[in-house]
Structure 1
Amino acid sequence: MTGTAAENDGPRIEPSTRVELHELAVRRDRDEWIVGRAATRTFVALPAAGARAVELLGQGRSVAATERELRAETGEEFGIAEFVGDLTALGFVARIGERPVPEAEPPRASLPRLRPHHVRWSLHPALPVLVLLLLASAVAVLIRRPELVPHYRDLLWSPHGSLVLVGGAAAGWVLLLAHELAHLVTARATGVPGRMRLGTRLQFLVMQTDISGIELAPRRHRLTAYLSGIALNLTVASCLVLALAVTDTGSTAHRLLAAALLLALLPLPFQCLLFTRTDLYFVLQDLTGCRDLYGDGLAHARYVFRRTVRWPRPARTADPSLRLPPHERRAVRLYSTVLVTGTAACLAFMAAVTLPADLVLLVRAARGLGPEHGLAGNADAVAVLVVLGGINVLWLVTWLRNRRARGSGT
């Protein structure tokens, strides 16, 4: 992330100018330093000299004094006035000289009354051990009693399709909210506000939690925040397996528990779709040390496409991945292949399978309305139209809303 110069009508930055910085967090990451402001979820990767300049400015040094100090330490010249302008654009500067810097209201956090000290327990090292113990116990039960291994028929817990559809949708959304709440809780424990909202990933309607600013936390806390949703699903699934082991096979409770188990496990394969920026994508991005694996991978894929097909025009610029450090370049080029292949396969599956199936179900439901179909038939038809049609409408509304937000820069 890079800043832009200060506005022309802002305070002039002279050699004698001193600035007051907001509270900033600093963390070393390989050969760079991550500097950011948790309140606005804004961060930037700086070289060592940039981090040192932030430190000197934060100590009250003037622009000229900071330049002299850096020149004495590194033997190089730096444009600190322009650097202050960049920091101002990022929202890191509270005051330039005697003039306060106006700033936009920070993004609203979800569950603002939830404070870091309320959820500090979520970062305790014993918690992953407990999750693994529960998972190991559930696996042991499934090995001893293979009849408890989930099957797609478990979702059909009732002969009434409307009950299956509505019940599955309700349970699925509850689990989805719990999954995202796990991300929010662990991020909040590190001091990152976090915000939950609806989003889209290709043809998928998803609930997502923006935990921008987690990059400033230690690695263990970052990985905990990224993996907490998957850990919650596995914990719920493990508890359901243990509950299944002590309930009577064929009972209503057993059927409901089996359906809930499958619903808890169904989102996990989706996490492997790294090209849709799932939880595992952020783990991969962190472990490879990439700043924007998706954005850089997409830029490289576009460059290769233009160079290969020479449409709409030949690629006249250099490969954008060449500006990256070697370790990032290798990861970005490999990920770009996964991105293109996975996206193409996902969209092809939607066109060949998902979309036709949805249309058939919606048409059948529409034809199933009317007095000649009886109360049960009409209830089933209405359930399909409300649940399936509602999800597709919600996807479209969410996609349009997010597209407008990106266009307006919000």
Structure 2
Amino acid sequence: MINKLSIVKLNPIIIREDRKNYIVEDRKNGEFYEMPNPAVDAINLINKGKPLGDIEQILKVKYPNEDIDIIDFANQLLDLELISEVNGELILKEVDQFGPTGFLWIPESVSRFFFNKYSYIFYISLLLFNIYILLTNHHLLPNYKDYFIFSWMSLNILLWLGIGGALLILHEFGHIIAMRANGLPTRLSIGHRLFFIALETDMAAAWKLPSGKRNVLYLGGLCFDMVAFACALSIQYFYPTGPALLLAIMKILVIDIFIRFIFQCGVYMKTDLYFVIENISGSYNLMENAHHYIKSKFKKEARKAGEAVYEEEKRTIKSYSVIYFIGVLLTILVFVFYSIPQIITTMSHSIDRLSSPLFSKPFFDGAIVLVQTLTGLSLLLYSWYKKYRLKKE
């Protein structure tokens, strides 16, 4: 039992100053926590071996306007598994992981070739080039019909999966290389964005860096996307008489990356751009606070609590809420003009072909599409189940 006479000992930690508060790294568990000034002062006093009661009195004098409860804080540290000893007694906790340790085989020197002060100018130039090409050449703007190259829908889907998978790996590889350029480890896992399967790069170690350097890690995937986008547009623009299949594949690349970028603007899904906004603002629970703010517009109880808790961040939350709804609108537009027409065209053709004679080529085409669809849904359900299980744990 922890009381005011207790002397506690913490795991080895590193404290880094951030935009508004401090980032505390638990070196034993590989976890990171945001803490305000009083909490960091309490940790420093704990590390000096002072009893909790003495620490509370010191903090009450230093922060007269704060509600200081050292026992509650110590119990929070205990729940976070940051305490290793209480009054000399060792607290044994099972550690599930020690942080991501993957991709250490990628040399930092090689990774810095892709992410340095000169490469950032290159990526920005590519972004401006891509925008210019699309605005001045309307025939290169993506259309959902660009997805359909072959008369066989099963071949079209295989092509979409191949191109989409390659672009997905390229995007995540951008994050990985950005992490390695800063000497940080990472790893990949499977997740989802709405109804789409996605790979996810673990960037928890990014908290080791100052806030100004973290944005590069979050934008690493988009930087690599801009390279692929520029290549696909350039081939169509500078080589319009090229092989029809090559130009058709470039159109799929354009529409795929274009849609991915629009989804990145959907910050309500905690996309890469969401983490950039969160990092710039210094509000690391921005989405949760915005949800509370939005609810407060419709519920009296939520409004009263929101005014007390989020007063300092209200302006940031309001601005984010506007971006939030813009992201929702853009996502709806993508579904209306691209995803839904693509799905309707694919399924209507496939269902028609299933009515063909058994074992005929059209029937096999429709059946293969059905198997491909069920496989994709299975992966999506697995991703949803995995997310639900983690939340429950």
* TM-score category (smaller protein): 0.7 to 0.9
- CA shift at 1:223, angstroms? 0.8
Report whether the alignment pairs 1:20 with 2:10.
yes
The superposition leaves residues 166-198 of structure 1 with CA deviations (integer Å, 9 ceiling, x where unpaired) of 111111022112212322443455566544333
Report whether the alignment pairs 1:389 with 2:374.
yes
Partner amino acid for 1:306? K
Give the 3-state SS of the residue equivalent to 2:13 in structure 1: coil
- CA shift at 1:247, angstroms? 4.7
- Among 284, 291, 295, the alignment partner of 2:284 is 291
Cα distance, 1:18–1:290 mapped onto 2, change above 3 Å: closer
- CA shift at 1:245, angstroms? 5.7
Q: Which residue of 2 aligns with 1:57?
A: 46
- CA shift at 1:234, angstroms? 0.5
Provide the rounded CA distance (Å) in 2 between the counterparts of 1:109 and 1:375: 53
Provide the rounded CA distance (Å) in 2 between the counterparts of 1:350 and 1:242: 27
- Among 159, 168, 174, the alignment partner of 1:182 is 174
Provide the rounded CA distance (Å) in 1 between the counterparts of 2:48 and 2:30: 23
Alignment of 1:194-343 (within 5 A): 194-212=186-204, 214-244=206-236, 247=239, 249-251=241-243, 252-307=245-300, 315=301, 318-326=304-312, 328-336=313-321, 339=324
Q: Bigger CA drift: 371-380 or 160-169? A: 371-380
Partner amino acid for 1:384? V
CA contact (8 A) 1:192 1:212 kept: no
Provide the rounded CA distance (Å) in 2 between the counterparts of 1:196 and 1:321: 39
CA contact (8 A) 2:55 2:70 kept: yes
CA contact (8 A) 1:298 1:339 kept: no
Give the 3-state SS of the residue equivalent to 1:26 in structure 2: strand
Provide the rounded CA distance (Å) in 2 between the counterparts of 1:134 and 1:68: 57
Cα distance, 1:126–1:347 mapped onto 2, change above 3 Å: closer
- Among 77, 82, 105, the alignment partner of 2:95 is 105
Cα distance, 1:301–1:142 mapped onto 2, change above 3 Å: closer
Give the 3-state SS of the residue equivalent to 2:32 in structure 1: strand
Provide the rounded CA distance (Å) in 2 between the counterparts of 1:363 and 1:63: 69
Give the 3-state SS of the residue equivalent to 1:44 in structure 2: strand
Give the 3-state SS of the residue equivalent to 1:94 in structure 2: strand
Report whether the alignment pairs 1:93 with 2:97.
no
CA contact (8 A) 1:42 1:90 kept: no
Provide the rounded CA distance (Å) in 2 between the counterparts of 1:243 and 1:257: 7
- Among 124, 128, 149, the alignment partner of 2:120 is 128
Provide the rounded CA distance (Å) in 2 between the counterparts of 1:35 and 1:149: 48
Provide the rounded CA distance (Å) in 2 between the counterparts of 1:340 and 1:240: 31
Give the 3-state SS of the residue equivalent to 2:297 in structure 1: helix
Give the 3-state SS of the residue equivalent to 2:204 in structure 1: coil
Partner amino acid for 1:174? A
Unaligned runs of 5+ in 2: none
Q: What is the TM-score with the length of structure 2 in the denominator? A: 0.79
Provide the rounded CA distance (Å) in 1 between the counterparts of 2:208 and 2:362: 55
User: How many residue pairs were aligned?
Assistant: 388
Provide the rounded CA distance (Å) in 2 between the counterparts of 1:350 and 1:138: 23
Unaligned runs of 5+ in 1: 1-7, 308-314
CA contact (8 A) 1:300 1:320 kept: yes
Provide the rounded CA distance (Å) in 2 between the counterparts of 1:175 and 1:130: 20
Q: Bigger CA drift: 347-356 or 268-277? A: 347-356
- CA shift at 1:246, angstroms? 6.0
Q: Which residue of 1 aligns with 2:140?
A: 149
CA contact (8 A) 1:20 1:93 kept: yes
Give the 3-state SS of the residue equivalent to 1:368 in structure 2: helix
Report whether the alignment pairs 1:44 with 2:39.
no
CA contact (8 A) 2:11 2:26 kept: no
Partner amino acid for 2:175? H
- CA shift at 1:406, angstroms? 1.0
Cα distance, 1:86–1:189 mapped onto 2, change above 3 Å: farther
CA contact (8 A) 1:301 1:340 kept: no
Cα distance, 1:158–1:281 mapped onto 2, change above 3 Å: same
Cα distance, 1:108–1:235 mapped onto 2, change above 3 Å: farther
- CA shift at 1:203, angstroms? 3.8
CA contact (8 A) 1:169 1:387 kept: no
Give the 3-state SS of the residue equivalent to 1:103 in structure 2: coil
Query: What is the alpha-carbon root mean square deviation over aligned residues?
Result: 4.0
Provide the rounded CA distance (Å) in 1 between the counterparts of 2:328 and 2:94: 36
